[in-house]
Structure 1
Amino acid sequence: MLIAGVKEWYGNDAQIFLKVRNRIEESLLTQGFNYFYGGMVSKKSIYEEHVDRLGERFMENCIEFTLNGKNEGIIISPESTFRVYDFLKRNNKLENNSGQIFYSQEFMRNESEKDIQKGKTFSFWQTGYEIYGKPEIESSTLALVTAFNCFATLDLPDTLFRISDKRILEGMIDDYTLNERRDIYYIIDCCGEDGEKFYNDFVAKGGNKATGEKVKDLLDLEKYEPITLEKLDVIANNKKSHSGIEFLSKVADELRSEERRGKYTFVPFIAKSWDACDSLLFDARLPEYNYAVAGGGNLHAFNDSDGKKVYKSGAGIGVTRLAEYIIEHKIMS
C-alpha cells in the first residue's frame, strides 16, 4: 500500500472489486434509478449551509484545496447525498416531482490517523441512492427494499440489516441541547453501542447518572431478550419515542412481504448514522467485520424552492468495504 488508508486493487482482486461495483449499479438501473455523476469535487458551502444538521465533526472530514492558487471553497467530495440534492434544487427538479437517483464514485474524507491505523480507508468507492417526493412510508420502505435487492446480487446471505428510528433515543434526551445530544451519540459510537461502556464513559465525563442509566438500559435491551417494538416502547416511554416506534411498526408491516429478500432486525439506535437523518436509520452488517457495509435513512434537510418539505430517503453502499470482505472470505472468484 503506497499510502495508508488507500486501497490498491490488481488482478483477481480488482476484478472482484469491479464485479461488486457493477452488480450494485446494474441492480439500481434495473430498479428504475437514474444515474448522477457530479465529479470528484464539491462546494464546501453545500455542507456549511447544513452544519446544524451535519455537525462540526463532519466539516472536519472535508479536504479543501486551492485552484490556480485561489481559495474558492472547493473540496474533494466527501459524499454525494447533499451534492445530489443541491443539483436537484438548483435545477428545479424537487418541485412537485418524485424520483429515484443514484451515484457511484470515489470519495475522500479527512479520517483520523488512529482510524487509518485500525484499517479504515480515507479514499473509498461508494454507490448510493436517493428517493425523493414520495410519501414517507413508501419512501422508507423503498429505501430498505432497494438495499435488499442490491445485496441479493452479491451472494451474501448472512447480511443483517439493522433498522431503527432516531426519535427513539432522541425522545429520551430531548431536554439536552443539540450539541449535548451529539456528544451522547458520539460516546455511544465510541463504545460500540454497548450500554455499560456508555454509562461508565458518560458519567466519567460528568454526565447525569439518571440519563446515563436510561440510555444504558435502552442500548442493552437486546443483551437480555429479543427486541420487539413493543418492548422498545415500554422502555422509552415518551411521546417522541413512541412516534418513532409507531413509524417503524408501519414500515415493518410493509416489509413483511419482502422478508425473503433481506434479513433484518430492529435495534434501539444506530450510532454511525448521520445526525442529518430525522427518523428512519438503517445499516447492513456482515459476520466478523467491524464496519457497516451500508447505511441510510430518512433525510429532510432540503426543502423545495417554496419551502415545502420533500420526503427523502436513501443509503450509501460501501463498495470498497464489500470487496475487502468478499476477497478476505473468498466468496467470489
Structure 2
Amino acid sequence: MLAASPGHPDALAVLAGAALARDDQAAYARLRDQAVTANPLAFYLALADLLVSMHMYEQTGTVLDEAAKRAPDNAYVQSAMGLNLLRLGKETEGRAALKAAWKRDRFNERTRNTLDLYDQRIDPLYTDVSDGDLSLRLLKEDQEYVSGDMLAIIARARQSLDKRYALRPTPLRIEVFADPSDFSVRTIGVPSLGAVGVCFGRLITALGPYAGTHNFHQVVWHELAHVYAVQLSKAASRGGSPRACPSGSPSSPTRRGPARAPSCWPSPAARAPCAACPSSSWRSCGPAAPRPWRSPTPPPPTPSATSARPTACRASSPCSRATARAAPPRR
C-alpha cells in the first residue's frame, strides 16, 4: 500500500502501532513525521483506534495529545481523549473532555451515553470505598453489605499475585456495577457488552454479584491477573521483548493459581536461545503455558459393548459422539 501511496495514513498507523508495541520510539517518530506531511489527523485517529484495540491506553493518550495540539477543536479527538482518560482512571479530566466534545458534536453516541451515565447513574447512585492503595466503586445502598467480602477477596488475590509475580501494581481501582448497562456504558460507551469484567491496566470495571449470574470471586481473580500481566508486559517491552509474552497468564489463576513470572526476556531481534532457560527456544521464556484443561469424559466403550450396539448407530451418530466427545477448549 505504501508503495502506491507513501503517505497513506492507515498504513502508516499500522506500522507506527507496531513500533510503539515494541517500544521503538525512533521508528515511531520517523513514521509520524512521514504521516504529518500528508494527513496528520487521519493518521493520529487511526493510530489511536489501533492502540485501543491493542490495550495500550497510555500510548493512546500520548497519541491523542499530539492530535489535540494539531486539531484542538475537533470533536472526535476530544471524545476519544475523554473516553481514554476514563480508561486510565482520570475521571475529572475525562468528563471535561467529553463535555467539550458534546458541545461541538451532539450526535456522538458514546459521548452522550457516558455523560448521561455519570450524571444520572454514577453520581447519585454509587460511592467510593477506599482501603489503602485500593479504590472500590460500589452501589451506595448495598455497599455496607458487600464491601467487606469484596475487599477481603481482592486483598487475598493481590497478596497471592504479589508474591507470585514479585511486584505490586499500585494504585488500583475497581468499579463494580449493579446494572449490566451501567457496566457496559462505563466500559465501552454503549450498552450490551457481553462480558462481566474488563481490565484497563490498573483500573478494572466489573459487573457485581447482585443478580447471582456469575462467580464474582472468579472474576476478581481473573481481572487482577490481567493487571499483573499488563505490568509484566510493560517490563518486557522495556527489556526488548514482545509485549505479548505474558498474555497467557490471566487464564490460569481461575483454576490453578497464577502462572510463574518470567525468568528472562531475550531480544526479539536476535531470537537467540536464552542461557537462563532450559529450553533452546526463546519462545519458552516468560510465564509457563498452562496445561490444557479437560472435562471428565466417559471411557471408550469396550469391544463387547461395541458389538452389542445396534447396527443403526454409526460413528457419526449422537451416541457415538457422546462417548468420544472431544474436550472443550480452554477459555
TM exceeding 0.5: no
Structure with more of its chain in helix, by fraction: 2
User: With structure 2 as the length reference, what TM-score do the two structures score?
Assistant: 0.25
Structure with more of its chain in strand, by fraction: 1
Report the structure number with the largest CA radius of gyration: 2
